[in-house]
Structure 1
Amino acid sequence: MKKVLIFLVEDFEEIEAITVVDVMRRAGVQCDMCSVSDEYVTGSHGITVKVDVIMDCVEARDYDVVILPGGPGTENLRKNVRILEFVKDFYMSGRLTAAICAAPAVFADAGIINGHKVTSYPSVQNELKNSIYLEELVVEDGNLLTSRGPATSLPFSYAILKHLGLEEEAEALKEGMMYNFLKENQ
């Protein structure tokens, strides 16, 4: 079974986090919500989530993907040296390292975006120095995957599934969740 880890810190963007967790679990992927220290974490819109694991109990080698949701909580991700080290080590191991919204700024802080194609929420574009910035919904370059923001949470999730080799599951979910209908009727 494929396993992904998603970090939740205070003020995380709920849509970005919960959408990813939901899509992963629908596809049969174990998706562990991880906190740095507390069992409960409150997002930027007051939604409190009980996490599955605490960082001290996590072994990076047990996961295929690490995911960072954005929102105001990105600053809490950026200030946490343990998360920065985890992200850098995970990336250096060659496994998919994914971030959405403002969270690609964590990649800049970890020193892993140099020369890579990336995207993000527009307000953090200037912080992604030494990268190749693209205004696309989702950008995958090597083992980095980035996306724009809350509205791109579904395509971001489907891209993670595709990377995991679960393309059929992603396509079935696009149909079942009416994502294809949405795209056809824009």
Structure 2
Amino acid sequence: MTSAETLRGRKVAILATDGVEEVELVEPRRAVEDAGAEVRLISLSPGRIQAMKSDVNEAGTYEVDAVVGDVSVEDFDALILPGGTTNPDHLRQDESAVGFVRDFVNSGRPVGVICHGPWTLVEADVVRGRTLTSYPSVRTDIRNAGGNVVDEEVVVDNGLVSSRNPDDLPAFCSKIVEEFAEGRHDR
């Protein structure tokens, strides 16, 4: 199987909203698309979302494919949760987004999360007993939610792939393709 076929037939959701760190949206999306996956950008409302560069400079805007309240976990094989400071902060305040993430993780489907993205996992109460990494300012929240935090480039815990920041994207992208190809993981 060529690398362009690794994820052929797989559907990947990216859950993001305004304030998403552009590189954390674009590079993982490119990696899974290059591996053959079909990707849909899921958000809180229809239209376009505003990406950012380092939380301070506006970057590109991206067309939303579906609203989180209108999709089901059953529609997808894997999930990507990019960071940016305000993106997960908005997501964790939305019941539909939190419920989608909770159901996704509990289904055993693989999830990739980077930088500030674990805030949504914390809100969904799905980090208890899991080992992951994140941006340094999120680590206390993960520990307080019962998760184990390590400071490594990429961490895999039973289908949950996490990385710290954009510098880790090459390792993160490679590992999500691998884990997404493996499919569901029993906990």
Give the TM-score range, shorter chain.
0.7 to 0.9
Q: Distance in 2 between matches of 1:111 and 1:55?
A: 18
Q: How does 1:1-150 map to 2 (within 5 A)?
A: 1-44=9-52, 45-46=57-58, 47-72=60-85, 73-129=87-143, 130-150=146-166
Q: Distance in 1 between matches of 2:45 and 2:124?
A: 21
Q: Percent identity?
A: 31
Give, in angstroms, the shift of residue 111 of structure 1: 0.8
Corresponding residue SS for 1:38? coil
Q: 1:120 to 1:36 in 2, by over 3 A?
A: same
Question: CA contact under 8 A between 1:39 and 1:54: conserved in structure 2?
Answer: no
Corresponding residue SS for 2:19? coil
Corresponding residue SS for 1:41? strand
Give, in angstroms, the shift of residue 163 of structure 1: 1.0
Give, in angstroms, the shift of residue 34 of structure 1: 1.4
Give, in angstroms, the shift of residue 160 of structure 1: 1.1
Give, in angstroms, the shift of residue 107 of structure 1: 1.1
Work out the number of aligned pairs and report it. Answer: 166
State whether structure 2 residue 178 is matched by structure 1 residue 162.
yes
Structure 2: 5+ residue stretches without partners:
1-8, 183-187
Query: With structure 2 as the length reference, what TM-score do the two structures score?
Result: 0.83
Give, in angstroms, the shift of residue 84 of structure 1: 0.7
Q: Distance in 2 between matches of 1:11 and 1:114?
A: 27
Query: With structure 1 as the length reference, what TM-score do the two structures score?
Result: 0.84
Question: CA contact under 8 A between 2:68 and 2:96: conserved in structure 1?
Answer: no
Corresponding residue SS for 1:10? coil
Q: Distance in 2 between matches of 1:62 and 1:41?
A: 22
**1:59-90 residue CA offsets vs partner (Å, 9 max, x unmatched):** 22121111111112121111111111111111
Q: Distance in 2 between matches of 1:134 and 1:40?
A: 35
